[in-house]
Copies of this chain bind each other. A is one copy, B any other.
Amino acid sequence: MSLDRQPTTTARRRVTRQDVARLAGVSVPVVTYALNGGPKNVSPATRDKVLAAVDQLGYRPNAAARALRRGRSELLGIIVPNLANPLFAALAHEVEVAAGSRGVTLIVLSASPGEVAAGLERLAARQVDGVLVATPVRSGDIAAIEVTGLPTVLINQPGAIEGIPAIGVDQYGGARLAVDHLVAQGHRDIAYLGPASGDQRRHEGWRDAMGAAGLAPVRVVETPFTREGGYLAGRTVLASTPRPSAVFASSDQIALGALRAFHEAAIDVPGDIAVASFDDSPDAAYAWPPLSSVSQPIGRMAREAVGRLLDGVPADGTPFQQFPVELVVRRSSVREP
């Protein structure tokens, strides 16, 4: 008899729509209508009563129940290679903000290229409404995307793959921009630091920019997109004879690593070696010297991706939605910035 007492001031345990309905003196569905602006209208008076009850009880709707019933979770997932990489941290941050402003919550998953499919499975089980994949996908992952049936947008990839929509920049054009700039600074011997096999548009951009300037694209130092890799690549560059007068690093992380190698060897940048790179991640401006880098409009891309995932792909949408890049010139590539 004392079991179903309802406290009048504060909530004790889990408060449900039941409790709110009881306190407001209405039925459960009416609470839904009032709260959701639901499928039905509610008289202002009832609405106020409900809202008051919600307030008084500290009622908080149960997202799991709602997701189960509606089949949508208001959850978005993002798969990144590594959140500790400033570029992906910035991307995740922008996506989180964009999603949050629409009442949607973000799940972050770290997954290296081999783990993308597994990540998609986990997100699908979570009933997310859509997924943003920033880890480079392999062919097997495309199958996983299709199997899960999740709305998916690729980002930070060379382009759309087998019909999966993608958002990104013209990586080839961006790389040419950077290398053209180095050429314009008078450099004739420009090394490429980065991945060189597979679908590497930045590598191709370097190669063609060199070719277009009548230069031989022969200096390639292969390295993954990491600071550590960049450091080793930088040392390799220093060990080569003759030393190139400039390097194009295919990511800021690589450039940062190379910069460290150059500093340790007391090589002046840009005096002895000029450096340009790609991504313009937040740390590029605070490197020393500040890095000239090809900037991607991460914020805009994040908002667009969230929009596409939540509102559906525009019917007339091209599979690959391309955003403009811009070369931000800083000290690392010019004497007088």
Q: Which of A92, A124, A148 has the most CB of B within 10 A?
A: A92
A110 at the interface (CB under 8 A from B): yes
A115 to chain B, nearest CB (A): 10
CB 8 Å contact bits of A66-88 with B (1 = contact, 0 = none): 01100001000000001110100
Q: Which of A60, A82, A122, A282 has the most CB of B within 10 A?
A: A60
Point out the residue from B109, B125, B290 that lies within 8 Å of A60, measured CB to CB: B125
Count this chain's copies in the assembly: 2
Q: Chain B contacts of A286 at CB under 8 A? A: 227, 256-257, 259-260
Measured CB to CB, the nearest residue on chain B to A68 is B64
Q: Chain B contacts of A121 at CB under 8 A? A: 60
Check if B58 sits within 8 Å of A62, measured CB to CB: no
A61 at the interface (CB under 8 A from B): yes
Check if B105 sits within 8 Å of A106, measured CB to CB: no
Check if B288 sits within 8 Å of A263, measured CB to CB: yes
With A96-B110, A107-B106 in contact, is A126–B63 under 8 Å at CB?
Answer: yes
With A89-B89, A147-B58, A286-B227 in contact, is A73–B84 under 8 Å at CB?
Answer: no
Q: Which A positions have Cβ atoms within 8 angstroms of B?
A: 58, 60-65, 67-68, 73, 82-84, 86, 89-90, 92-93, 96-97, 100, 105-110, 121-122, 124-127, 147-148, 227, 256-257, 259-260, 263, 282-283, 286-290
Sample of 11 further A-B pairs with CB below 8 A, known A64-B67, A283-B283, A287-B287 = A60-B125, A82-B93, A83-B83, A83-B93, A84-B89, A84-B90, A84-B282, A100-B109, A106-B108, A107-B108, A288-B288
